[in-house]
């Protein structure tokens, strides 16, 4: 795909970006040649998103130059970026819930003649884009708010494709996608690159980089530590060492599993949610990690949310330590020690303008309080302790959580339930957007919690993660549990087969 001696058409040189209190970029270089997939690697908070926001015109660089076809350019705003042929899919989904799919795709560059919007044309072109993305079933006239996170990601992708771009920047597009969706995404990426479009691809999943990438630039602490490494020929261990500055054990912690005597903590029977899933049974013992595998949209997240009381089941009971929970009451669930780390942290989990520590103690501040009086000192201390043990970067807990990188926001979400201390921990995509090093830490942590007697349920789109982390696996397809068994006795392909079969049947 990449020609013999390709010349970069887009170059970023010595980019520095200073935020009040943080030097996010400290001299970064990036060279992009036509038709390549250029991977941007780096730990959480390394500055990847900041760099691409500079390229997208969303941030102005403090220092540095951007050259397009050898000419220095300034990218004053996102419109200018698009004019220069740079289209961006942001890490945090940026779709408008109240608008339709087609309206979102053409947001900001509406098709219009003489001021009359050409809705039908927009719908037609959107349908075409969705078909290209492998999603003819999504209707252009549907409201985006009703779509799942993956659906929104697809809309965001369609928007990027709707521009005549020379380079499309994708900031962790696969984080909300399951393996089938990722395959779709890669097909589109290959189409783009063979047409000469360059793709800048950010992901924490190194196996994806192997599959799709041509060259790699690695960022660390806001600096470029390696340029234009060829993907083939750079071992994974080397990449990890470049990113983290150390070698990380990229492995799952050994499972001790629940003892034979371990009591059942979470007991779910006949749980149904009309139109989404039916008759789900689930028993989790103290010390056990149960994984739910399945496609996005199979009802996995809804199962967790229903167990948690965030949705009212149409049938079924949930018991914790033998006590039956009031259905549809989160407060009751939290009261008996269930914690949920939701899938969409921004809309479901965080108070973006509040400091980190208040986000961490959102479900526990009342416990720290005495007679209704807050004890912020104790809250800070508890949050700080978790921040250190989770290697939150930057580790200060007083800054607004908005200013943390995506992966670090995810860690803060986990910290909330660590402070809470849970009998039952429900984790929906716990490592979404989390870097290699922190992933290993999170795995170890979840195992430690289980060993300390918690019952853990994990939902993940990454099947290897489910299989590696869990003691027992439930495969969910089309709202039904189609398989249940020990994690060792099944492999990724079998899970995929079951998932697909279920969705065909």
Partner 1 sequence: MNEQKLSADARQAGPGAAGPPGGEHKDTARRVGIPSGTAGRNLGLIVALVALAVVGCVTAGSRFASLDNLMVILSLASVIGVVSIGMTFVITGGGIDLSVGSVLGLASVWATTLATQTMADQYGWVVMAVCALAVGLGAGLVNGVLVAYGRVVAFIATLATMVAARGLAELIANRRTQIVDVDSFTDTFRGDLLGVPKIVWIFVAVAVAGWFLLNRTTFGRRTVAVGGNPEAARLAGIKVRRHTMYLYALAGLAAGIAGVMMLARTTAGSSTNGTLYELDAIAAVVVGGTLLAGGRGTIVGTVLGVLIFATLTNLFIQNNLDSSVQAVAKGAIIIVAVLLQQRLTARSTTG
Ligand X SMILES: Nc1ncnc2c1ncn2[C@@H]1O[C@H](COP(=O)(O)OP(=O)(O)OP(=O)(O)O)[C@@H](O)[C@H]1O
Shortest distance in whole angstroms from residue 2 CB to ligand X: 25
Q: Convert residues 435-474 into a mask of x (bound to ligand X by CB under 6 A) and - (unbound).
A: x---------------------------------------
Cβ distance 201 to 189 under 8 Å?
yes
| Contact positions with partner 1 (CB under 8 A) in 286-315 | 308, 310
Six token digits for residue 9: 């058409």
20 binds partner 1 (CB under 8 A): yes
| Contact positions with partner 1 (CB under 8 A) in 375-394 | 384, 387-388, 391, 393-394
CA distance 447 to 461: 19
Give the rounded distance of the alpha carbon of 186 from its chain centre.
Answer: 17
409 binds Mg ion (CB under 5 A): no
CA distance 295 to 222: 35
Give 188 or 333: the residue with its C-beta nearer to partner 1: 333
Shortest distance in whole angstroms from residue 408 CB to ligand X: 6
50 binds ligand X (CB under 6 A): yes
42 binds ligand X (CB under 6 A): yes
374 binds partner 1 (CB under 8 A): yes
245 binds ligand X (CB under 6 A): no
CA distance 106 to 85: 16
Binds 372: which of Mg ion, ligand X, partner 1, none (CB < 5-8 Å by kind):
partner 1
Stretch that binds ligand X, among 27-35, 186-194, 379-387, 404-412 (CB under 6 A): 404-412
Give 49 or 460: the residue with its C-beta nearer to Mg ion: 49
CA distance 358 to 119: 44
Stretch that binds ligand X, among 41-49, 186-194, 209-217, 466-474 (CB under 6 A): 41-49
Cβ distance 168 to 199 under 8 Å?
yes
Give 58 or 336: the residue with its C-beta nearer to Mg ion: 58
Cα 384 to Cα 345, 387, 415, 439: the distances in Å are 20, 5, 10, 20
CA distance 162 to 258: 51
43 binds Mg ion (CB under 5 A): no
Among 291, 297, 406, 430, binds Mg ion (CB under 5 A): 406
Give 35 or 407: the residue with its C-beta nearer to Mg ion: 407
Which SS3 state, helix, strand or coil, does residue 89 take?
strand
| Contact positions with ligand X (CB under 6 A) in 84-113 | 91
Among 366, 377, 489, 505, binds partner 1 (CB under 8 A): 366
Give 175 or 482: the residue with its C-beta nearer to ligand X: 175
174 binds ligand X (CB under 6 A): no
The residue assigned the tokens 């006795």 is 489
| Beta strand pairing call for 10-19 and 22-32 | antiparallel
174 binds Mg ion (CB under 5 A): no
Binds 190: which of ligand X, partner 1, Mg ion, none (CB < 5-8 Å by kind):
none
CA distance 220 to 69: 27
91 binds Mg ion (CB under 5 A): yes
Report angle CA 64, 65, 69 to the nearest 5 degrees. 160
What secondary structure does DSSP assign to 22-52, as a single string? EEEEEEEEEEE-TT-EEEEE--TTSSHHHHH
Stretch that binds ligand X, among 48-56, 251-259, 293-301, 456-464 (CB under 6 A): 48-56
Which SS3 state, helix, strand or coil, does residue 84 take?
coil
Give 42 or 294: the residue with its C-beta nearer to ligand X: 42
Stretch that binds Mg ion, among 41-49, 135-143, 301-309, 443-451 (CB under 5 A): 41-49
What CA dihedral angle connects 222, 224, 226 and 227, to 10 degrees?
140
Binds 145: which of ligand X, Mg ion, partner 1, none (CB < 5-8 Å by kind):
none
The residue assigned the tokens 């716990």 is 430
Cβ distance 85 to 169 under 8 Å?
no
333 binds partner 1 (CB under 8 A): yes
Six token digits for residue 395: 């580790």
Enumerate residues 6+ apart whose C-beta is below 8 A from 371: none
DSSP tag of 347? I
The full 3-state SS of 313-333, as one line of letters, equals: CCEEEEEECCEECCCCCHHHH
- In the complex, the residues that contact partner 1 under the rule CB under 8 A are 19-24, 26, 43, 45-47, 58-59, 220-222, 308, 310, 330-331, 333-335, 340, 342, 347-355, 358, 362-363, 365-366, 369, 372-374, 384, 387-388, 391, 393-400, 402-403, 405, 416
- In the complex, the residues that contact Mg ion under the rule CB under 5 A are 49, 91, 406
């Amino acid at each position: 795909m990449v020609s013999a001696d390709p010349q970069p058409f887009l170059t970023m040189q010595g980019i520095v970006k200073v935020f009040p209190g943080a030097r996010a970029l400290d001299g970064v270089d990036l060279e992009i040649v036509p038709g390549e997939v250029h991977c941007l690697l780096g730990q959480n908070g390394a500055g990847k998103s900041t760099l691409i926001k500079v390229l997208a015109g969303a941030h102005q660089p403090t220092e540095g130059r951007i050259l397009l076809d050898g000419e220095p350019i300034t990218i004053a705003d996102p419109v200018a970026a698009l004019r220069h042929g740079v289209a961006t899919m942001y890490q945090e989904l940026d779709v408008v819930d109240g608008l339709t799919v087609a309206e979102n795709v053409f947001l900001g560059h509406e098709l219009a003649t003489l001021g009359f919007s050409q809705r039908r044309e927009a719908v037609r072109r959107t349908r075409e884009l969705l078909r290209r993305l492998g999603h003819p079933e999504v209707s252009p006239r549907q409201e985006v708010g009703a779509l799942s996170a993956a659906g929104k990601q697809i809309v965001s992708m369609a928007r990027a494709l709707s521009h005549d771009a020379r380079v499309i920047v994708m900031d962790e597009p696969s984080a909300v996608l399951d393996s089938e969706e990722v395959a779709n995404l890669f097909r589109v990426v290959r189409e783009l690159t063979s047409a000469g479009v360059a793709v800048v691809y950010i992901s924490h999943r190194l196996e994806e980089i192997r599959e799709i990438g041509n060259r790699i630039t690695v960022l660390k602490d806001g600096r470029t530590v390696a340029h234009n490494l060829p993907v083939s020929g750079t071992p994974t261990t080397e990449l990890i060492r470049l990113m983290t500055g150390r070698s990380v054990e990229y492995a799952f912690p050994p499972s001790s599993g629940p003892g034979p005597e371990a009591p059942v903590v979470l007991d779910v029977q006949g749980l149904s949610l009309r139109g989404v899933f039916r008759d789900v049974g689930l028993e989790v013992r103290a010390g056990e990690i149960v994984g739910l595998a399945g496609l996005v949209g199979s009802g996995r997240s809804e199962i967790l949310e229903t167990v948690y009381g965030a949705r009212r089941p149409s049938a079924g009971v949930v018991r914790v330590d033998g006590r039956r929970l009031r259905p549809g009451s989160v407060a009751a669930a939290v009261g008996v020690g269930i914690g949920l780390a939701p899938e969409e942290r921004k809309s479901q989990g965080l108070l973006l303008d509040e400091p980190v520590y208040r986000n961490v103690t959102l479900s526990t501040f009342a416990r720290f309080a005495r007679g209704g009086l807050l004890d912020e000192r104790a809250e800070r201390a508890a949050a700080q302790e978790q921040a250190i043990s989770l290697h939150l970067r930057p580790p200060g807990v007083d800054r607004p959580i908005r200013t943390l990188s995506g992966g670090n926001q995810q860690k803060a979400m986990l910290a909330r339930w660590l402070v809470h201390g849970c009998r039952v921990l429900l984790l929906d995509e716990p490592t979404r957007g989390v870097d290699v090093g922190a992933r290993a830490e999170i795995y170890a942590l979840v195992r430690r919690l289980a060993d300390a007697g918690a019952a853990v349920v994990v939902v993940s789109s990454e099947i290897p993660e489910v299989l590696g982390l869990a003691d027992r696996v439930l495969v969910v397809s089309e709202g039904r549990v189609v398989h249940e068994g020990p994690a060792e006795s099944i492999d990724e392909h079998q899970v995929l087969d079951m998932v697909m079969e279920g969705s065909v049947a």
